[in-house]
Structure 1
Amino acid sequence: MSTPEQSPLGKSVAYAGTYDPGLLFPIPRAAKRAELGLGDELPFIGVDVWNAYELSWLDARGKPRVALAEFRVPAESPNLIESKSFKLYLNSFNQTRVHDTDELRTKLSHDLSLAAGAPVSVVLSTPTSPQSAIIENLAGEVIDDLPIEFTRYGPPDASLLYSNPDAVVEETLVSHLLKSNCPVTGQPDWASLQIHYVGPRLGRDGLLRYLVSYREHAEFHEQCVERIFLDLQKQCEPTRLSVYARYTRRGGLDINPFRCTPGWMMPGNTRTSRQ
């Protein structure tokens, strides 16, 4: 475990020919969380939902098999898993014989749990399963068409957020305008964001300006979502809050972090049209 700069990101690497769990590169969450003023007691619970679309291996007879995979990494795990290392690890199965899908699931869960430092669940499905073809919109009211001017594109500016304490509501808001950048390569990361809350009504113009202020910000997906959650909690004081980002795919993987106040259920796996 070390810093993002020491990960495979942005580097030319050879693909492993056979199974190699040593390719996984964990990154401790603690340093970034300390920047946000967080300690051991987290004000949220949550999960990072990963989807893999390029998983293949050889069965006991050497016949290639493929599957779609869903991985759930708990937010309380001490480490996140760097995405390029995740891709390299999954591709190390390409020429590896595995007896059956139960053995494959066991290997995946064991290796990823070891890297994350907490239990990681794994669900495998076939490309022809009904669920694999379902495309849905994130539930909520889209705020992207507000006729407002934008002048701030980074760093994230929490002062743009405000709420009306005289109007307490429960609502779900959605924006497709979230963009941040990889902190190592500078490549853009695109996402749709769903915010569900109970509390003083959020100023929608301020919320949209705030989300656009991530446009030149460099941070991993999971860290951006935690920053958004904490800024909303501090500036607007909702009694209940969830933040769910559905990021577009890169390298056959999409990452979808979810953070919420304790007591809420973990999310489904809503695949959007951009994914």
Structure 2
Amino acid sequence: MATPEASPLGKTSAYIDQYDAGLLFPMERKGKRDEIGINSNALPFRGVDVWNAYELSWLNPRGKPRVAIGEIFIPADSPCLIESKSFKLYLNSFNQTRFDSVRAVVEVMERDLSGAAGGPVRVILVPLSQMGHSADISTLPGENLDELDIEVEHYQARPELLRADTSQEVDEVLHSHLLKSNCLVTGQPDWGSVLIDYSGPRIDRESLLKYLISFRQHNEFHEQCVERIFQDLRRHCDTRRLTVYARYVRRGGLDINPYRSNDEAFVVDNWRLVRQ
């Protein structure tokens, strides 16, 4: 099975502008899930990785460029995630390739991405002329934690920082824009915002913010960080209903927004935040 070190990350890559599905680089989710105690055969959550592609273009049958914004939904129960640089290289390979229609591009992408991920991937392509107000900037719901006056000492993921008051039951939504982690291979920074929607013992807000900040020098992919946060909150705070949804800042024309939830009623909105 492919390893992160074998991916295109951190390596010089040729710009290939003719369609090539072989550029996609899938990686098994199982290894990282085993590391944090998630059984890949009995996931404690449902979820999806929502990708937004802002640099997407191809040629129509007469050679005229078309541009669109892509929304790609990769199910969390697929055996593989797709490494982001390979995804970018794959999208670049459409640039000088002719397609009969938008529908034809969607069908090719859904086929290739589903094959790489090992599960059904859904693709929506919206021409820029049709975007309208769907591209408006949103804000995360719930209470923001970022102005809490805390002292921070830890910058590697520390679940033991989390505390919850078992005498007080709550149902609340919290969020922070102070999430930062680093790429597992290159160590380059990944900036994000995270939403936590839960019920159960009241999570101490200061401990939660310290915990989220402790990812600041932690090296993992976006999807893995979100699953780690989900698992840590379940274990250390005894949450019953829990959703963790991160919105990461785009890199190379792509943003990745994983959500994991055990709440059947939770509906995923593909918000666009100010940094996206």
TM-score by length of 1: 0.98
Tell me what 1:194 maps to: 195
8 A contact 2:8–2:86 mirrored in 1: yes
Per-residue CA distance 1:26-80 (angstroms, 9 max, x = gap): 0000110010112211111100000000000000110000000000000000000
Tell me what 1:17 maps to: 17
Q: CA deviation at 1:239?
A: 1.3
Which residues of 2 match residues 36-47 of structure 1 at below 5 A? Answer: 36-39=36-39, 40-47=41-48
The amino acid of 2:110's aligned partner reads: S
The amino acid of 1:162's aligned partner reads: R
Identity %: 58
- Matched residues in 1 for 2:2 and 2:60: separation? 35
- Matched residues in 2 for 1:266 and 1:74: separation? 14
Pairs aligned (count) = 274
8 A contact 1:113–1:120 mirrored in 2: yes
- Matched residues in 2 for 1:34 and 1:133: separation? 38
Tell me what 1:226 maps to: 227
- Matched residues in 2 for 1:15 and 1:125: separation? 25
8 A contact 1:47–1:266 mirrored in 2: no
Q: CA deviation at 1:89?
A: 0.2
Tell me what 1:75 maps to: 76
Between stretches 73-82 and 261-270, larger displacement belongs to 261-270
- Does 1:247 find its partner at 2:248? yes
The amino acid of 2:106's aligned partner reads: R
Per-residue CA distance 1:216-271 (angstroms, 9 max, x = gap): 00000000000000000001111100000000000000000000115233411010
- Matched residues in 2 for 1:121 and 1:16: separation? 24
Q: CA deviation at 1:177?
A: 0.3
The amino acid of 2:139's aligned partner reads: N
- Matched residues in 2 for 1:119 and 1:2: separation? 20
Q: CA deviation at 1:189?
A: 0.2
Which residues of 2 match residues 1-275 of structure 1 at below 5 A? Answer: 1-39=1-39, 40-128=41-129, 129-154=131-156, 156-275=157-276
- Matched residues in 2 for 1:33 and 1:234: separation? 15
TM-score by length of 2: 0.98
Instruction: Give 3-state SS (helix, strand or coil) of 2:155's partner.
Output: coil
- Matched residues in 2 for 1:266 and 1:228: separation? 19
8 A contact 2:135–2:272 mirrored in 1: no
Q: CA deviation at 1:132?
A: 4.2
The amino acid of 2:146's aligned partner reads: D
Task: List alignment gaps of at least 5 residues for structure 1.
Answer: none
Runs of 4+ with >2 A deviation: none
Per-residue CA distance 1:103-145 (angstroms, 9 max, x = gap): 0000010000000000000011122312443110011110011
Between stretches 113-122 and 265-274, larger displacement belongs to 265-274
Q: Using a 3 Å threshold, how does the CA distance of structure 1 residues 191 and 217 change in structure 2: closer, same or farther? A: same
8 A contact 2:163–2:207 mirrored in 1: yes
Task: List alignment gaps of at least 5 residues for structure 2.
Answer: none
Q: CA deviation at 1:166?
A: 1.4
The amino acid of 1:259's aligned partner reads: R
Q: Using a 3 Å threshold, how does the CA distance of structure 1 residues 3 and 131 change in structure 2: closer, same or farther? A: farther
C-alpha RMSD over aligned residues: 0.9
Q: Using a 3 Å threshold, how does the CA distance of structure 1 residues 116 and 157 change in structure 2: closer, same or farther? A: same
- Matched residues in 2 for 1:190 and 1:49: separation? 16
